[in-house]
Amino acid sequence: MENYIADSPLLLPLREQHSRLRDGRLSARTVVEAAVDAHQRRGKHDNAYITWNGDGAFANAAAVDCVLTNGGDAGPLMGCAVSVKDNYGVPGFPIYAGASERLPEKWEKAGPVVEVLLSQLPSLMGKTHTVELAFGGLGTNAHWGAPRNPWDEVSQRVPGGSSSGAGVSLVGGTASLALGSDTAGSIRIPASMTGVAGLKLTAGRWSIDQIVPLSPTLDTPGLMAFRVDDLAFAFEAMDAAGSKAGRGKSFELDLADLTFGVPERYFWECCSPGVAEAVETAIRSLESAGARIVKLDLPGAEEVFELFQRGGIAAAELASFLHTENTGLMNRLDRNVALRVEEAQNIPAWEYVHRRQVIDQLSEMAKPYIKKVDAILTPTVAITPPALSDLKDECEYKKSNMLALRNTVVANFLGLCALTMPVGQDRTGMPVGLQVIGGGNEETFLLEVGRAIERELGTGLDILGTPPEPGTRDRLS
């Protein structure tokens, strides 16, 4: 594969970018120039962004370089290229949240997470596509089209959702850090399918104010980047100002000091060819490097998925938003979204309350098992990213969507934090992710576990390289 962005400064570790921006080896303008060049080369092809901000990013970069030259420093993410999922309010940017029409202006106001980010003066490259109202795990959108997964130049495969443009913005070379959100896997699925790292926070760790809600009970902000170390750097930069449960600075762990639980059931079922094999190979490598591997099935996983297949609580909570916010979107929903919202409206109040109680019970039941190990390891997504052409039938969409979300939803329902990191390719050549699950509000420790794994296995850039430039196969054929 042609490494067309291999020399881009956006591929440098965020810690390295931070250092170079401050000692003069790198300028914010150079970062933006590289992002704009990548967007010109593959922006229409990738369709990662609903709103591109090249001119605004150049203006910001000029201000950043002036501040840095004069010894100022707004924060660790200053001058870094960042994309933001279009369900976050960002002042000066329209917001659609994947819907057919622009949402009311009140949703454009910044919430706490965006305020923390913008206060550090990153170069905001734009707002990325999302599944309508973040309700889907594949990345499709009937109104705006699906961003293209860059790893397959022949078939247009889905990028994962609902943060569908986030991972594509990274591997397409237009951002080094992407903000997404996760309700049942909406960060980890696109991160896994596009070959980057992603962090799902514990619900309540960061505020969800001014993020268009899917499920206020389960929604959580999150981050995507090329490396787990990048996630750790960005998390620390943003958690210090935005967290309700800060736990101090990062530290370094050794694999030999860690015990990983590996379930024997549930998470390995329904895997496409090559997915389980890639994850198993990664786990064996960790064991060879000194990590202790024990069998540990997470109680409640099957019950979570059974409840999820019946609609969980997200559909009912989304229906509530649509009815009470007067957005006017109810009759213009993507059919794949509308069907689930319609089903939720038939759920009686007692059933919704009961489902909330079941989720709380399952979460409590899982806590002692999580404490037995330092983290639980599973495949992130069981299936190969399907081609768009295979999803035209509603039954096929529903089946693939459920399979994509199957392994990730467990952490959401059980109140856990989790990350994903690329560890190989399946038999079609598409990226495969390793899911690392930790206890609730244990993000700092989980990220250090992930960093220890990454030091042994390598980063996604080490394992996968970068996607081919659009048209490469045509030129070589």
- pLDDT per residue over 275-303, tens digit each? 999 999 999 999 999 999 999 999 999 99
- Annotated active-site residue 106? The verdict is no
CA distances from 119 to 195, 225, 237, 434 (A): 29, 20, 11, 33
164 is catalytic: no
Query: What local confidence, expressed as pLDDT, does residue 328 receive?
Result: 81
pLDDT-derived band at 244 (thresholds 50, 70, 90) equals very low
- Of residues 27, 83, 162, 207, which has the active-site annotation? 162
What share of the chain has pLDDT > 90, as a percent? 89
Is the full-model pTM beyond 0.85? yes
Amino acid at residue number 355: R
437 contacts 375 by C-beta, under 8 angstroms: yes
For residue 96, name the pLDDT band (cuts at 50, 70, 90). Answer: very high
pLDDT score for 3: 53
Give me the percent of the chain exceeding a pLDDT of 70. Answer: 95
**Closest Cα to residue 377, out of 286, 300, 443?**
286
At 98 the pLDDT is: 97
Please compute the mean of the pLDDT values over residues 363-384 and round it to a whole number. 97
Model confidence band, residue 240 (pLDDT cutoffs 50, 70, 90): low
Find the mean pLDDT for residues 131-143: 97
Is 119 labeled as catalytic in the residue annotation? Answer: no
Considering only residues 344 and 140, tell me which one the structure prediction assigns the higher pLDDT: 140
- The answer for 121, left when phi > 0, alpha when psi is -120 to 50, beta otherwise, is left
Catalytic residue, chosen from 83, 85, 123, 192, is 85
Q: Which residue is catalytic, options 186, 215, 272, 400?
A: 186
